[in-house]
Structure 1
Amino acid sequence: MTIEDANPSSTYAKLLGETAKIDWQDLERFFAQGKLLSVARDLDLVSVAEAIANDDSAVVMQWLSSGLVARMPGETAADYAARKPELWAVVVSPWVCVQERA
């Protein structure tokens, strides 16, 4: 564990406190507005939100180009609507970052 891991930034701590379990039906309007970002399960949801909040474009672009973060695809939205999986979300205006939890 590094010192950074032991002492998260104030932005990370704030976003962590704002992260919550949410139902797909509560996210549908953000999907319809094109403001929903899907975050891969192997990324830390709060770290992604922090990078967006801090405008860390190099890291965000790397995630986007690798497909680890993406605007919610229609197929994924339909899957979530059908399955109703456990989802966690955090808002980094204008985006809502969402991640399925196993």
Structure 2
Amino acid sequence: MKITREELAVQVDVAQWSWLRAHLERGGLIVVNRGLDLVEVGVSIASDDTAVVGDWIQTGLLAKPSAEQISAWDANEEISFSALIISPYVLIQEQKQ
């Protein structure tokens, strides 16, 4: 069964960093660049579109959180994220402040 954009769009939620930290510790957190559509990334990952996902990874638009990002998020409890679970991953996109 194919996951649709509409199905994933209703699953996007807002999360605080403290809620997401456990996913970082288990290695399941993926940062989505703000230039990408979070739902579109979710659809591509869920449908195993390796060419598109690979391009995003290669260009740095999709990545594990960097040490600098983690430090910044740890230091600022006000930061919130759009989050989408595509098991076993949690896709996050930092919201504009």
Scaled by the length of structure 1, the TM-score of the pair is 0.86
> Following TM superposition, where does structure 1 have runs of at least 4 consecutive aligned residues deviating by more than 3 angstroms?
none
Residue in structure 2 matched with residue 51 of structure 1 by the alignment: 44
Q: How many residues align?
A: 94
Give the Å deviation of 1:74: 2.3
CA RMSD of aligned residues (A): 1.4
More helix by share: 1
What per-residue deviation string (whole Å, max 9, x for no partner) do you get for residues 49-102 of structure 1?
A: 110000000000000000000012222122112123121100000000000111
Question: Structure 1 32/43 Cα, relative in aligned 2: closer, same or farther at 3 Å?
Answer: same
What per-residue deviation string (whole Å, max 9, x for no partner) do you get for residues 16-42 of structure 1?
A: 111000000010010011110000011
Q: What is the distance in 2 between the residues matched to 1:80 and 1:92? A: 22
Unaligned runs of 5+ residues in structure 1 are 1-8
SS of the residue 1:75 aligns to: helix
Residue in structure 2 matched with residue 40 of structure 1 by the alignment: 33
Matches within 5 A, 1:67-78: 67-78=60-71
Unaligned runs of 5+ residues in structure 2 are none
Q: Using the aligned pairs only, state the percent identity.
A: 34
Q: Does 1:27 align with 2:20?
A: yes
Question: Structure 1 82/39 Cα, relative in aligned 2: closer, same or farther at 3 Å?
Answer: same
SS of the residue 1:61 aligns to: helix
SS of the residue 1:99 aligns to: strand
Contact 2:3 2:46 in 1 (8 A): no
Scaled by the length of structure 2, the TM-score of the pair is 0.91
Residue 71 of structure 1 aligns with an amino acid whose one-letter code is K
Give the Å deviation of 1:10: 5.6
Residue in structure 2 matched with residue 89 of structure 1 by the alignment: 83
